[in-house]
Amino acid sequence: MNGLYRFSPIADEEQLREAIKYIHVYCHKLCKQSLGKYLPVAGNIGVFCHYDGEYEFLTNIRKELTNTSDNWNQKYFCLYSPIVIPAKSDILETTYTYLYIRKPDARHAQVGDLDFYMEPEQYATFKQSLREGKHIKGASILNRPDLDLIELSDPDIDAVAYIGAKTMAENVKENKV
């Protein structure tokens, strides 16, 4: 680790790509740990910055890699070339089409996050089971009224994952309507 945070400060595009691979692997571990299986990704991946200079630097790299006019919530930007991470072990090949660079926030020491997709009916059932008190290791309903997501976390893993009932393409399409 580089000081307090794994990867941070990220100083070049290669380190950014290594951080993305790390987020990918460890978020999939969170998913398998909580659900006993992998879910498909929604299509977005986020890298968390821990320093102002790092945020400025990575935002500039993101501007080169993404279409700034194609974004969701002025936050997730469509990549010109999707990031494809080859299959590894039992994790299937995965494609990310949207990239998020998060501003420094002392409450979030993680490397980053990604969203998984669950069919809407299955998601509603899963969320209701959590509301009713079912304990699923690392899973909790995200306490934000603006986002309908279930958070997957583990204090021993420095990444965080979310499960939702929409893909990033669906979110973007709704945003354009």
pLDDT tens for the chain, 177 residues long, are 445 789 999 999 999 999 999 999 999 999 999 999 999 999 999 999 999 999 999 999 999 999 988 888 889 999 999 999 999 999 999 999 999 999 999 888 999 999 999 999 999 999 999 999 999 999 999 998 888 999 999 999 999 999 999 999 898 887 765
Q: How many domains does the chain have?
A: 1
Domain-located, residue 2:
no
33, 58, 74, 76, 79 from 71: Cα distances, Å = 31, 16, 6, 5, 10
Domain-located, residue 21:
yes
Measured between alpha carbons, how far is 118 from 163 in angstroms, rounded to an integer? 7
Domain-located, residue 4:
no
User: What stretch of H or E contains 39?
Assistant: none
- Max CA-CA distance within the chain? 46
Q: 137 Cβ partners below 8 Å, 6+ apart?
A: 33, 34, 154
Domain-located, residue 3:
no
Domain with residue 163: its CATH number is: 3.10.180
